Amino acid sequence: MSTTALPSRPWPQFMLGMRAFVPLAISIAAYGIVWGVLAGQRGMSVLEVALMSGAVFAGASQFVALDMWEPGNLPILSIVVTTAIVNLRFLLMSGTLYPLLAPLPRSRSLLVVAGVSDEQWALTMGEMREGRGSIAFLLGTTLACWLSWFISTIGGRLAGSLIDDPTKYGFDFAFTATFLALLLGMWKGRIDIVPWAVAALSAIAAARLIEGNWYIIIGGLAGSFAGAVVETMKERRDVA
């Protein structure tokens, strides 16, 4: 990437966001193909796949919805309620993007958060923690994320029976691998040990005890609360 370009300019920032997203887009595409293949097996049409990936744009909830998808006898309310539960974590993610979006008029920022998803949020938060990150960067990651999910799910649906069992190729591990590497990239020092350990342990416990995707929001809230406690205690010690 060019270091001579002014990084504060919107267009270079947008392109920077797009480029930074490429490794994640590959991981998303691997998952999108898997989802598209499964959607075909559940009897979803190409148009339905396109509408769902384009308008819902939330992988985890789309996987859960597939599980409940029965053409001719769709449990509409159950699918919508389950989707809300699986996607509750976006509440935290949109909230943490607020400092970045605060300068925008409300109507604009409400448009920007329509693209909030795990990967583009994680990447942009990583930038914000480094003191970088901008609205244009966020929009670049959003477009890259949306395109990779939209195209790969339709591609998977069209490829259909060519991939019989995607898990045997190891693609199912792409997300865990990506999230793990993203997490390691966020390491700021020993202050992160307690919140990450509390998040991991409470998420593992919650995943065993509670059905669904609650473990993500439970682990995230518990771990970050523990981090705030540790940080506040450290500040008091430093002052005293």
Lookup: tokens for 229: 């406690």
- Using rule CB under 8 A, residue 183 touches another protein: yes
Long-range CB contact pairs, 196-205, < 8 A, 24+: 196/223, 197/223, 198/222, 198/223, 198/225, 198/226, 198/227, 199/223, 199/224, 199/226
Closest separation between CB of residue 108 and another protein, Å? 11
Q: Which is nearer to another protein, 12 or 195 (CB)?
A: 195
- Using rule CB under 8 A, residue 181 touches another protein: yes
Q: Which is nearer to another protein, 5 or 229 (CB)?
A: 229
Closest separation between CB of residue 204 and another protein, Å? 5
Please check whether residue 155 is in contact with residue 128, taking contact to mean a CB–CB distance below 8 angstroms. no
Q: Per-residue x/- marks for another protein, 112-151, CB under 8 A?
A: -xx-x-x--xx--xx--x----------------------
Closest separation between CB of residue 222 and another protein, Å? 7
Cα–Cα distance measured from residue 108 to residue 130, given in angstroms and rounded to the nearest whole number? 25
- Using rule CB under 8 A, residue 202 touches another protein: yes
Among 1, 55, 162, 239, contact with another protein (rule: CB under 8 A): 55
- Using rule CB under 8 A, residue 190 touches another protein: no
- Using rule CB under 8 A, residue 173 touches another protein: yes
Among 10, 19, 67, 99, contact with another protein (rule: CB under 8 A): 99
- Using rule CB under 8 A, residue 224 touches another protein: yes
Candidates 1-9, 107-115, 135-143, 157-165; binding stretch for another protein (CB under 8 A): 107-115
Closest separation between CB of residue 148 and another protein, Å? 13
- Site size with another protein, rule: CB under 8 A: 97
Residue identified by tokens 């649906």 is 157
- Amino acid occupying residue 129: R
Cβ-Cβ contacts under 8 Å for 129 (sequence gap 6 or more)? 186, 188
* Terminal CA-CA length for the chain: 46
Q: Which is nearer to another protein, 13 or 27 (CB)?
A: 27
89 burial class (0-12, 13-18, 19+ CB within 10 angstroms)?
Answer: buried
Cβ-Cβ contacts under 8 Å for 50 (sequence gap 6 or more)? 150, 153, 154
